A and B are shown apart, each in its own frame.
Chain A
Amino acid sequence: MNPSLFQGRLVRLTAEEPQVSAEAVSQWDRDSEYIRLLDSSPARRWSSKKIQGRIENIQDQPQLDLFIFSIRTKAEDRLIGVTSLYGVKWTHGEGFLGIGLGDRQDWGQGYGTDAVRLILRYAFTELNLGRLSLDVYAYNPRAIRVYEKIGFVPEGRMRKCLNREGIRSDIIFMSILKEEWEQTV
């Protein structure tokens, strides 16, 4: 058995503290680049009160297809991002991965890679899923490199699906099967 599913090398996965998380998300959302890397909907702002309400709603009525964690550094216990498994389809053993690191200073430091490794282990050894999927935008090469490093395989691309500043970009789909993940660990 692993000592803890929630402890990585650099980060750990923790529960979302609604007010703390809401304030952090609201802060991160000031950077429209962060929103655009995370979401294809038009970038918009929400009050931290609204965000807090949403987090509390999810925690009050735990959903069977959604698992959310805060990402904190082990060194300083700093809240740096959020990661989730969403759209879990139990009968097919499949789910989607989402991850965001809010502050630019925390990008490219290995935190994301560590957090994705943790959430993969959670998906395959705790939820016992058979595969994990994700989508990522072609204008986010940093994330794509991380996913490739961890063992995700590109499976296809929705061509010219997004329009950002007049340039059309692909949405890329990647996944990792349980047996592929087992070979990497």
Chain B
Amino acid sequence: MNATLFVGERVRLAVEEPQVLAENIARWMRDSEFVRLTESDPAIPLTAKGILKWIEKEQEQQPPKVYVFGIRTLDGDRLIGDVGLGGIHWAHGECTLGIGLGDRQDWGQGYGTDALRLILRYAFTELNLERVSLDVYAYNPRAIRAYEKTGFVHEGRMRNCLQREGQRWDMIFMGILKEEWEKSLASTHGVGQG
């Protein structure tokens, strides 16, 4: 057994007080770039109160419809983003992953990759799912690299699906199967053991 599912090399998956998470998400959303990287709907800032209501509603759902964690740095215990699994199809053993790191200063530091490794382990060894899916926008090469590094495979692209600043972009679909994830562990010693 693993010592803990929730601690990686650089970050941990944390439970957040809804109020704290809501205030942070509202702050991150002031950067329209963050909104555009995580969402294809028109960017619109939300109030912390509005986000709080939405989080509380989600937490009331029993059994949970989504599994969302705060991402906190091991060094300094800073809340830098959130990661979650949603759209779970229990009958098919499948779900969709979402992740966001709010502050630009925390991008490209390896935090996201570490959080991805944690949430994949959670998906495959705690929820016992068979595959994890995600979509990502072609104008987000940083995220695509992190997904490739953690073992996600390119499965397709919705051509010209998005329009940003007059330019059309693909939406990319990726996925990882449980057996692929298990193989990637065997070759890299897995999370928290490197």
Contact of B156 among A41, A157, A160, A163 (CB under 8 A): A157
Contact of A91 (CB < 8 Å), options: B42, B157, B175: B42
Question: Is B189 located at the chain interface by the 8 A CB criterion?
Answer: no
Given A89-B40, A133-B161, A161 and B156 contact (CB-CB distance below 8 Å): no
Pick the interface stretch among B6-14, B53-61, B85-93, B113-121.
B85-93
A94, A130, A161: which contacts B94 (Cβ < 8 A)?
A161
**A168 near B: Cβ within 8 Å?**
yes
Q: Mark A119-133, 1 if CB is under 8 A from B, else 0.
A: 000000000001101
The answer for the CA separation of A83 and B157 in the assembled complex, in Å, is: 24
Q: In the complex where A91-B163, A159-B175 touch, is A133 in contact with B158 (Cβ < 8 A)?
A: yes
Interface string of A132-157 (1 = CB under 8 A from B): 01000000000000000000011111
**Cα–Cα, bound, A91→B40 (Å):** 9
Instruction: Find out whether the CB atom of A156 lies under 8 angstroms from the CB atom of B157.
Output: yes
Given A92, A155, A162, A177, which contacts B40 in the complex, CB threshold below 8 Å?
A: A92
Question: Which of A154, A156, A157 gathers the greatest number of chain B CB atoms within 10 Å?
Answer: A156
Contacts of B94 in A (CB 8 A): 158, 161-162
Separation of A156 and B177 alpha carbons in the complex (Å): 16
Q: A41-B89, A163-B93 are in contact. Are A158 and B158 (CB under 8 A)?
A: no
Bound together, the chains give a CA A117 to CA B42 distance in angstroms of: 30
Tell me whether A161 and B157 are in contact (CB under 8 A).
no
Nearest A-chain residue to B178, judged by Cβ: A160
A85 to chain B, nearest CB (A): 15
Q: Which residues of B contact A168 (CB under 8 A)?
A: 130
66-98 of chain A: CB within 8 A of chain B: 89, 91-94
Q: Which residue from chain B places its CB closest to the CB of A94 in the assembled complex?
A: B161
Please provide the chain B residues from 149 to 163 with a CB less than 8 Å away from any CB of chain A in the complex.
153-163
Q: Could you tell me the dominant secondary structure of chain B's interface residues?
A: strand
> Is the CB of A173 closer than 8 A to any CB of chain B?
yes
Asked if B173 contacts A158 (CB within 8 A), the reply is yes
Q: Is the CB of A173 within 8 A of B175?
A: no
Max chain A C-beta neighbours (<10 A), residue from B131, B154, B161, B177: B161
Indicate if the CB atoms of B159 and A131 lie closer than 8 Å.
yes
Q: Check if A161 sits within 8 Å of B173, measured CB to CB.
A: no
**A131 in contact with B161 given A155-B156, A158-B173, A160-B177 (CB within 8 Å):** yes
Closest residue of chain B to A156 (Cβ to Cβ) is B156
Cβ–Cβ < 8 Å partners of B161 in chain A: 92, 94, 131, 133, 175
Contacts of A153 in B (CB 8 A): 159
**Nearest neighbor of B43 in chain A, beta-carbon distance:** A91
| A131 lies within 8 A of B91 (CB) | no
Binding site for B on A (CB under 8 A): 40-42, 89, 91-94, 130-131, 133, 153-163, 168, 173, 175, 177
**Interchain residue pairs A-B with the least CB separation, the first 7:** A156-B156, A42-B91, A155-B156, A163-B92, A156-B155, A162-B92, A92-B162
